[in-house]
Amino acid sequence: MIQISSKNICTGCRGCCIFDKDYYFFAPVVTKEEKQILIEKHSKNESDFEEKDGRLQIKLKQFTEDKVCPFLNTKTWLCGVYENRPFDCKLYPYVLMWDKDKAHVVLAIDKSGCPAYDLKKEEEKLHYHQEIVKYLNSEKTREMLQKNNYLIWDYLEGFMPVYTLENLEA
């Protein structure tokens, strides 16, 4: 999947890997398969993950007054598992969530801002949306989402829907 950001922008921002107290709940969600890969390929531990509200999530660690992803190197500000980062991380600043009526799954963008996204021209954003939609509509991704429907968040205020995914069920 293509990424909207460049390494320079990400290391200058770090907003998606650092969580203030109002966003602890939004720690990245992982599938059991992703968890196993992170443990095997990156020497991560069971204690780096936790079950919360029916979701398997990365367990954040305290860093100053905020919490950070334990896979973030706080000296270089680079992701220590980038090549195997979870689906949830690959997708950001987008999320999959249910619409208000929980009738449809929508691809939405975090309106609080991602500098990489904000710096893009409108035609670049449209191209990126199309690439993400193509990825989400692939058979492999749809099967993964059907198997791990907890990757789809409940409706989130502050996120702007950009595309409705058809034929995904609760």
Q: Of 47, 63, 90, which one is at a domain's C-terminal end?
A: 90
Residues 84 and 120 in one domain: no
Q: What is the pLDDT of residue 22?
A: 84
In a domain, 103, yes or no: yes
In a domain, 170, yes or no: no
Nearest CA-CA partner of 102 in 29, 152, 162, 38: 152
Asked if pLDDT for residue 106 goes beyond 70, the answer is: yes
How many domains is the chain built from? 2
Q: Which residue has the higher pLDDT, 111 or 164?
A: 164
d(CA 123, CA 146): 31
The structure's pTM equals 0.86
Residues 66 and 100 in one domain: no
In a domain, 4, yes or no: no
Asked if pLDDT for residue 62 goes beyond 90, the answer is: yes
Least confident of 60-64, 80-84, 117-121, 130-134: 117-121
Q: What is the pLDDT of residue 158?
A: 86
In a domain, 65, yes or no: yes
Sorted by sequence, the CB contacts under 8 Å of residue 128 that are 6+ apart come out as 2, 4, 120
With contact defined as beta carbons under 8 Å apart, do 150 and 97 qualify?
no
Compute the average pLDDT of residues 33-58.
93
Q: Which residue has the higher pLDDT, 56 or 118?
A: 56
State which residues form the domain around 146.
92-165
With contact defined as beta carbons under 8 Å apart, do 150 and 55 qualify?
yes
Q: What is the pLDDT of residue 41?
A: 92
Q: Which residues pair with 18 in a beta bridge?
A: 68
Helix (H) or strand (E) segment spanning residue 159: strand 159-165
15 DSSP assignment: T
Q: What is the pLDDT of residue 5?
A: 58
Mean pLDDT (the chain, rounded): 86
Helix (H) or strand (E) segment spanning residue 147: helix 139-147
Name the token pair of 69. 């992803």
Compute the average pLDDT of residues 38-44.
91
d(CA 170, CA 150): 9
Q: What is the pLDDT of residue 82?
A: 87
Compute the average pLDDT of residues 143-152.
93
Residues 73 and 127 in one domain: no
Residue type, 106: V
With contact defined as beta carbons under 8 Å apart, do 28 and 89 qualify?
yes
Q: What is the pLDDT of residue 79?
A: 87
